[in-house]
Structure 1
Amino acid sequence: MKFIPLASMLIFSSVYIPNVAAQDFDVCVKRLQATAQEQGLSQDIIQHTLANVKYVPRVVELDNQQPEFSQTFEGYYTKRVTDARVEQGRQLLKDNREFLEQLTKKYGIPPQYLLAFWGLETNFGGYKGKMPVLDSLATLACLPRRSEYFTGELMQALKLKQKYGFNQADMVGSWAGAMGHTQFMPSAYAQYAIDADGSGKADLWNSQVDALTSAAYFLQQLGWHRDERWGREVILPRGFSYQNVGKSQTKSLTQWSKLGVLNTNRTALSTPDMQATLYLPSGHLGPAFLAYENFDVIMRWNRSTFYALAVGKLADRINGGGVLTNTPPKMPRLSREKLKALQTSLNEKGFDVGKADGVLGTRSIKGLQDYQQSQGLIADGYPSVATLDALGVSR
């Protein structure tokens, strides 16, 4: 799986990066061989596998791509929570209910969530990636930016090959080394993968039983709350104060109910002592969500709000739920340069959002809300057309 903060909310545009790693790759591989020996890997793995890894220029290109346009929630969601994916998930739920319910009993993860993760990661195993994992990880380990991290992942991948006897040609995945039905990175594979089908090895590429069992175990270890859902879409009342949006404003359902927040059928929220956070991924014009503690668990799998909302809603729909009550509106995508201009303008006007980096994080959203409130705009923290105009940021 991919622990990429907000990266899954971005569309990338290629930029040219000078190819400096290739000429030093052989030297780097020698260093990696020494590291492998220090970590106790066999001479066979070191001399016949690691010594023969190949440099992959495409991996360098992908690693160095810079985010150019931020994707809207509408663009992200509609491409992932599709009717076809929902129907396939429902059929898989029907066909595998007994096995999935066994996982629920043991690990506490309801079937629809396991299917939702599986669906988003690889379209239920339809596309698990085709890049040679060891070559990709070696290439990344030889780049200075995240060498330590990817060296560690490469060592784990080599240990997996040594432990289970995987054929190197079969070890394929994403360009960054995520593998199998559930796209585990090697370190997660080593720690959480389970041989559930009794084959003698945890095979996340070829065994759906191993992959889904491993996903259930991983989510349990991340802290999944048994018998609780991820969250829900809600309706906000007229005159709602959007200063209540975001993680810093987490409240109990009782408090949200007192603020006039309703279920989508306009009935009152149930009022147990559960904590919830309000998210408006498309601003006040789009759907509103109250997210519970299991939403935070989903975010530990992939640190993207869009991803976590998609998992939650795909799970709901697989389990028989309906479409969003409030369809996400189509919004223009903003370039990173425009987001930098927005941040610069906020700083100049006295709303400190820190360095203008083109990433609309928590601090920028709070500064944007404060500015919107000062201008009599709807203070939802979303860079609407009216807000951009007020800040003097060209569209």
Structure 2
Amino acid sequence: MRWWIVAAVGTGALFGAASAVAQPIRPALADPVNTGSLGPASLKLEAQPASASFDAFVAGLWPAAKARGVSRKTFDQAFAGVTPDGKIIELTRKQSEFVKPIWSYLDGAVSDARLARGRDVAAQYASTLAAIERRYGVERSVVLGVWGMETNFGSFTGGKDVIRSLATLAHIRYRGTFFRDELITALVILQQGHVARADMKGSWAGAMGQTQFMPSSFTKWAVDQDGDGHKDIWTSIPDALASTANYLKKHGWKHGLPWAMEVRLPRRFDFRTHTSSFAHWASLGAQSADGRRLPQHGEASLFMPAGARGPVFLVTSNFKAIKAYNSSDAYALGVGHLGDRVTGGAPIAAAWPTNDPQLDHGQRRELQSRLAALGFSIGEPDGRIGTKTRDALRSFQQRRGLTPDGYPTLAMLEALRTYR
């Protein structure tokens, strides 16, 4: 998980790659919905400006587009008057180091205003959501959670020209050939007539529609729920929500299994247990925070987004299915909790440790570097606390006889500094 939410560098919705099951639907960058916060970005600017002109670059796309079935007419109409967007190029170079802890992120993700809007649209589209749930076996709560997190239930879907955005990023080879491939796929979508050229709007990185699919995600998982012959994730709410449900189903969502349950643990709990059956968790004394009985079947993992002193959750494989949409645990927690609250669920019961001092970017990088120096596999020290860093820190804590919650604190950094 990335526990820190980086501040927004500009407008544009979250986006990402959905080229494989292991990839999120779009690695997070800017998220205008979440009160100007930025999802935990993991992308880097790998490209240098291409030496060839933009027009030559566009012309060079034609053979690949033609091979995918795009007509010359569609190709020429798509690029008519298109020029590079300098604002997008600038966005790729901005890296803010302002971060928010998880509780601040959730304050924005599950705000009173968003809950009110979510409940209104849940009532408005109740029959549609029921039909989608019957068809795909994906609870309406999580579909609403994704819709709310991505575009505030359709109130902001991005106003950028998707072709221009993708062409700009592809031209400078941002992330290698990823955006070039997405651009060609976007042309295929136009060729198939799912959306008019003028209506193909989205984020500055090319994510489209009510629930922000990249073009490759659209071709794999978008569906025609309303039966009009087109997969319209821009203006058809049924199509957009059913496409999201289809995505989650194909990525392992299990009907009837909670994505997570907040739990209370007994004193002197043995935190060395990380993943087990619900029955075993119950035998260890875990109790649901809202008084519900733990499920009798299935297994779950212990999830402590703010350490052992904050709220504690048991998360299931459905939590992983949400993470297929976006690999951030913070995002998945936001989606799940927002959907629960919109559909009548209770707020998180335990208090967040809001008075705990937070590590800054440099301290987080130092923590990662010190873990790496001890032989733990954490990837490149980048100041973003992900699953590898959390697992490595948990192992280090176990080695030192500390509570293995994987939570990066000043005390843990000091312990690493003095460890010999």
TM-score under structure 1 normalisation? 0.88
Does 232-241 or 328-337 show the bigger shift?
Answer: 328-337
Does 132-141 or 161-170 show the bigger shift?
Answer: 161-170
Alignment-derived partner of residue 295 in structure 1: 319
**Do the aligned partners of 1:16 and 1:61 also contact (CA within 8 Å) in 2?**
no
CA shift, 1:21, in A, is: 4.2
Deviations 1:44-89 (A, max 9, x none): 1223323643211222222343463453211211110122222222
- Counterpart check, 1:60 vs 2:89: yes
Residues 373 and 42 (structure 1), Cα distance of their counterparts in 2 relative to 1, 3 Å cut: same
- Counterpart check, 1:363 vs 2:392: no
Deviations 1:223-272 (A, max 9, x none): 2212222121111221123333xxxx3211112112221111467634x2
- Please give the secondary structure, in 1, of the residue aligned with 2:313: strand
Find the aligned partners of 1:144 and 1:6 in 2 and give their Cα distance. 19
Residues 355 and 299 (structure 1), Cα distance of their counterparts in 2 relative to 1, 3 Å cut: closer
Q: Count the aligned residue pairs.
A: 386
Q: 1:240 aligns with which of 252, 255, 269?
A: 269
Query: Where does structure 2 lack aligned partners over 5 or more consecutive residues?
Result: 1-14, 17-23, 31-37
Alignment-derived partner of residue 107 in structure 2: 78
Does 157-166 or 295-304 show the bigger shift?
Answer: 157-166
- Please give the secondary structure, in 2, of the residue aligned with 1:243: coil
- Please give the secondary structure, in 1, of the residue aligned with 2:61: helix
Does 24-33 or 121-130 show the bigger shift?
Answer: 24-33
Deviations 1:85-126 (A, max 9, x none): 222222222232222111111111222222111111100100
How well do the aligned residues superpose, as a CA RMSD in angstroms? 2.8
Deviations 1:264-318 (A, max 9, x none): 1467634x23011111111112111111121111111111111111111112112
Deviations 1:310-349 (A, max 9, x none): 1111121122111100133325553432212112233455
- Counterpart check, 1:306 vs 2:335: no
Residues 267 and 34 (structure 1), Cα distance of their counterparts in 2 relative to 1, 3 Å cut: closer
- Counterpart check, 1:316 vs 2:345: no
Does 27-36 or 308-317 show the bigger shift?
Answer: 27-36
Give the partner amino acid of 1:305: D
Residues 11 and 200 (structure 1), Cα distance of their counterparts in 2 relative to 1, 3 Å cut: closer
**Do the aligned partners of 1:124 and 1:181 also contact (CA within 8 Å) in 2?**
yes
Q: 2:248 aligns with which of 219, 237, 245?
A: 219
Alignment-derived partner of residue 346 in structure 1: 371
Residues 146 and 267 (structure 1), Cα distance of their counterparts in 2 relative to 1, 3 Å cut: closer
Find the aligned partners of 2:362 and 2:52 in 1 and give their Cα distance. 33
CA shift, 1:385, in A, is: 2.6
Q: 2:199 aligns with which of 159, 166, 170?
A: 170
- Please give the secondary structure, in 2, of the residue aligned with 1:232: strand
CA shift, 1:376, in A, is: 4.8
Alignment-derived partner of residue 193 in structure 1: 222
**Do the aligned partners of 1:81 and 1:310 also contact (CA within 8 Å) in 2?**
yes
Does 172-181 or 24-33 show the bigger shift?
Answer: 24-33
Alignment-derived partner of residue 273 in structure 1: 297
**Do the aligned partners of 2:69 and 2:188 also contact (CA within 8 Å) in 1?**
no
Alignment-derived partner of residue 288 in structure 2: 263
Find the aligned partners of 2:101 and 2:357 in 1 and give their Cα distance. 7
Find the aligned partners of 1:224 and 1:353 in 2 and give their Cα distance. 28
- Please give the secondary structure, in 1, of the residue aligned with 2:192: helix
Give the partner amino acid of 1:314: L
Residues 332 and 139 (structure 1), Cα distance of their counterparts in 2 relative to 1, 3 Å cut: farther
Find the aligned partners of 1:343 and 1:196 in 2 and give their Cα distance. 46
Alignment-derived partner of residue 283 in structure 1: 307
- Counterpart check, 1:20 vs 2:44: no
Q: 1:144 aligns with which of 136, 148, 173?
A: 173
Residues 266 and 197 (structure 1), Cα distance of their counterparts in 2 relative to 1, 3 Å cut: closer
Find the aligned partners of 1:159 and 1:100 in 2 and give their Cα distance. 29
Percent same amino acid at aligned positions? 37
**Do the aligned partners of 1:7 and 1:304 also contact (CA within 8 Å) in 2?**
no
- Counterpart check, 1:38 vs 2:42: no
Alignment-derived partner of residue 5 in structure 2: none
Query: Where does structure 1 lack aligned partners over 5 or more consecutive residues?
Result: none
